[in-house]
Structure 1
Amino acid sequence: MSTTPPPQKPILISGAGLASLLLAQSLLLSRIPFLLFERDASFVFRAQGYRLRLSHEGLDAIESVLSPETFQRFWDTCGKTSGAGFAVLDAVTGEKAAVDLSGAGPGPRGGLVSRGDKVVGIARGEMRRVFAEGCEEFIQWGREVVGYELTEGGVKAVFADGAKSVEGSLLVGGEGIRSGVAKQLSGGKLKVYDTGARGIHGQAPTTAFRGLGEGVFIILDGSRADGAVSIITNVRPGGMDDPTVNFGWTMVGKPGVIRPPGDDHTIVGKVAADVAKSLTTHWHPRFKPLLDDMDVNEAAFWKITCSTPSGVPEWPNEPRVTVIGDAAHSMTPAGGIGANTAVRDSALLGRLLREAGGCKPGVTEAYEKEMRVYASEAVGQSYSAATRQFGVKIDEDTPTV
């Protein structure tokens, strides 16, 4: 009689975003088998989004997962900003604005700093690239997960074409705000609301940022009758005279101010760039290069969403299914804490799985209990800041996505 134990069923992960890939890194280092299912055809299928600011909680979570060598590469890729620190500038006059955005934006400089008295940030695409190292062979592209099926001995992911995955020991829904796994698992309790606010991501050569200098800036236009528009950007040292290197900025407008044609926030390129330029024609010349010199092809709209402001709801625990990242707690960009909360999910769930030697009874229950505490606090902070900065309000009539 053979004494060889049966092969361990893989942990199935839906989506290949940041939280999913960091969880995969944790499983890889723990030698726990896994498979990722991603609806896109590749990492370059669509724009990677804006630059992320990393809090000390986010950095600690990432460092706890990655090997020392990989974390060093990650750290070397990050930008570290000091300079003038956080400042709010009047978009029309070009001068420092006489407004108090404490609590409405990312906060004063003390709230931005994460390590070594520096503001640490990284492009989403670069972060995804590092997190994907060593995991590529376990990603199945073009597989959109819409739900799951519990089996006698595990769980199977159900794809949009009706096919099903191999049987896994656990399914982790990390496919973002439209997660079918989250809706099925929570019985519809996990909701993501469309706040009505919209944004535009843009990039321009570093030479366009010389008029700002090093630091983290909000360029605020409060002169509009239909509501304020602002741009936030992190101007880092190095490459300021190299027109081949781009820095990014993110524009946000109150509901109704930024209007993508047909409210299609998936539009990228010239249409998005033209809207950004039309909203800023009266801005001070100090800021015009950010718009005039922008890389038109990289411009993209985005929809600002938020989970239930009261926090992550409770649902009956299912030992074989759970959710991470935006699937569990979508946040507005106010405060810059969404991605940092997502990587905390990955670190926590990965640690519990490593300590248990795989998916064992109690793992998802322990994860969800702890995740609800810090994630609910983060959602509340994000929403409160967004109500002040973007003028959003979520109530029973707010549409969901």
Structure 2
Amino acid sequence: MALNTRKPILISGAGLASLLLAQSLRRANIPFVVFERDASISFRAQGYRLRLSSQGLDAIESTLGPQGFAKFWDACGKTGGGGAAVLDAITGEDISTQSKDEEAQGSKAQLQSRGGQTVGIARGAMRKLFLEGCEPNVRWAHHVTGYELTGSGVRAIFADGSKSEEGEMLVGGEGVSSKVAKQLSNGKLKVYDTGARGIHGTASTTAFKGLGEGVWRITDNTKPGASVSIITNVRSKDMDDPEVIFGWTLAATPGVIQPPNDDYTILGKPAADIAKNLTKDWNPRFKPLVDDMIESEAAFWKITCSTPTGVPDWPNDSRVTVVGDAAHSMTPASGNGANTAVRDAELLGRLLTEAGGYADGVTAAYEKEMRDYASEAVRGSYGMASKAFGGKIDENSPTV
């Protein structure tokens, strides 16, 4: 069989959308190269457990195929229950029927993504599964800061000024700080700081015994003008194994979480100490989640969002496009960020596969369809977050 002599598809960033797109190209025998700024897949903390919607699972299944998806499905945790329940952090009471939390009240259909179960997986585990088989095509410690178009393709430009080999097209998937997105859209793609803040944490299953199986939001509204909440997903299958680690994410309205020197790159004990202080008066049923946390795994995060009105238009370039958070950053309120990212990967991968690789019109078709579903997801994400976490943004708000 003749070797494939086509130039590769260049992919910037090794996040979820980028790696799932790489899997699509690998299965279609389309050459590709992934450039990632980190030195390895385990270079830094990978964040909170992801909740997968029906659409997200469908996109992953379509991309990985039956055998690949079976392995992915086995790695996912499945949680029963009727959707997210809201608990009062101080009294311990179930206040779901009283809550105005739209995510808890309106997400049952989305939560129960397959077989009446909530399906989730840690971001780090998901990335590792998407990486399998693509390792020879990933170049670590390559920080893409821009690109240049050539007569017959495109080259990625790295932070040290060097350039990649020529590719047929470039896909920017480097997340909220994507330089490819800024260059492609001439600054139209923006990510705003909502002012709301959070802390990721993990603990042994023993800390979650007081909750039991389910998807839980624990909410503290005792301080005037401020709100702190933790959301977590407890799977009964793993509850009796203290070696298994569950995660939670804490979110607070603007001004509540202030790390030392406003440095959100600090990890570990400083973040853990803030979380413990914020929850020190909580009900004994919930305190072990934070008091018994693995301090070294704690991490700050800023709650950001793309333009609330949706994904903006920019002049199409047949050689360059963007996927995932580079195209549409979302708050965690609706649980749709990762699900929308994998939909991007499936759609673009399918279009490239049908075309046999780069072809005129592929990026235009992808962007047209992506804008529709991603804009809806961004609007929903922002609407829920503004109610749950506070923080209002508009075109004049600070960007990140």
TM-score, shorter chain, exceeding 0.5? yes
Distance in 1 of aligned mates of 2:301 and 2:119: 23
Counterpart in the other structure of 1:259: 258
Q: CA deviation at 1:101?
A: 3.5
Match of 1:282 in 2: 281
Whether 1:310 aligns to 2:309 is yes
1:43 and 1:158 map into 2 onto residues whose CA distance is 21
Tell me the residue number matched to 2:362. 363
Distance 1:64 1:212 in 2: 35
Tell me the equivalent position of 1:153: 152
Structure 1 ranges of 4+ moved more than 6 A: none
- Compute the displacement of 1:109 (Å): 2.6
Distance (whole Å) between structure 1 residues aligned to residue 265 and residue 211 of structure 2:
30
Aligned residue identity for 1:94: G
Q: How many residues align?
A: 398
* 8 Å contact kept, 1:105–1:385: no
- What does residue 58 of structure 1 align with? 56
**Match of 2:17, as an amino acid?**
A
Residues 106/178 of structure 1: CA separation in 2 closer, same or farther (3 Å cut): farther
Q: Which residue of 2 aligns with 1:381?
A: 380
**What is the CA–CA distance in structure 1 between the aligned matches of 2:287 and 2:325, rounded to whole Å?**
34
Residue 206 (structure 1) aligned with residue 205 (structure 2): yes
1:123 aligned to 2:122?
yes
SS at match of 2:146: strand
CA distance in 2, matches of 1:108, 1:47: 28
1:289–1:155 distance in 2 versus 1, CA, 3 Å = same
1:80 equivalent in structure 2: 78
- Residues 203-225 of structure 1: CA distance to partner in whole angstroms, max 9, x if unpaired? 01101111111000000001012
Shift of the 156–278 alpha-carbon distance from structure 1 to 2, 3 Å rule, reads same
1:228 correspondence with 2:196:
no
2:5 match = 7
Alpha-carbon distance between aligned partners in 1 of 2:78 and 2:398, rounded to the nearest angstrom? 38
Does the 8 Å contact 2:307/2:394 carry over to 1? no
Following TM superposition, by how much is the alpha carbon of 1:226 offset from its aligned partner in structure 2, in angstroms? Answer: 4.3
Aligned partner letter, 1:14: S
Q: Assess if the C-alpha contact under 8 Å between 1:329 and 1:375 holds in 2.
A: yes
Residues 294 and 6 from structure 1, CA distance in 2 versus in 1: closer, same or farther, beyond 3 angstroms? closer
Name the counterpart of 1:349: 348
* In structure 2, C-alpha distance between the alignment counterparts of 1:232 and 1:260, rounded to whole Å: 21
TM-score (normalizing by structure 1): 0.97
Residue 137 of structure 1: aligned partner: 136
Q: In the TM superposition, what are the counterparts of 1:27-66 in structure 2 within 5 Å?
A: 27-66=25-64
Partner Cα separation in structure 2 for residue 111 and residue 360 of structure 1: 35
TM-score by length of 2: 0.97
Equivalent residue letter for 1:63:
E
Structure 1: gaps of 5 or more residues = none
Separation (CA, whole Å) in 2 of partners of 1:270 and 1:253: 18
> Any idea what SS the aligned residue of 2:114 has?
coil
Instruction: Give the Cα–Cα distance (whole angstroms) in 1 for the partners of residues 130 and 65 of structure 2.
Output: 11
Aligned equivalent of 1:243:
242
The offset of 1:85, in angstroms, is: 3.9
Residues 81 and 234 of structure 1 are in contact (CA less than 8 Å); yes or no, is this contact kept in structure 2? Answer: yes
| Structure 1 residues 264 and 105, CA gap change in structure 2 (3 angstroms) | farther
Segment drifting more, 78-87 vs 369-378: 78-87
Counterpart AA for 2:341: A
- Unaligned residue ranges in structure 2 (runs of 5+): none
Q: Kindly provide the amino acid, as one letter, of the partner of residue 269 in structure 1.
A: G
**SS where residue 73 of structure 1 aligns?**
helix
**TM-aligned CA deviation for residue 104 of structure 1:** 4.2
SS of the residue corresponding to residue 177 of structure 1 reads helix
Residues 112-141 of structure 1 deviation map (CA, whole Å, 9 limit, x = unaligned): 110000000000011001100000110111
Match of 2:163 in 1: 164
Distance 1:100 1:291 in 2: 23
In the aligned structure 2, how far is the partner of 1:362 from the partner of 1:39? 29
Change (3 A) 1:373 1:85: closer
Q: How much does 1:5 deviate? A: 9.0
Partners of 1:35 and 1:96 lie apart in 2 by 50
What CA distance in whole angstroms lies between the structure 2 residues aligned with 1:66 and 1:106?
33
Report Cα offsets for 1:231-266 as digits up to 9, x if no partner.
Answer: 000000123232211100000000111112122222
Checking the alignment, whether the CA contact within 8 Å between 2:101 and 2:388 is kept in structure 1 is: no
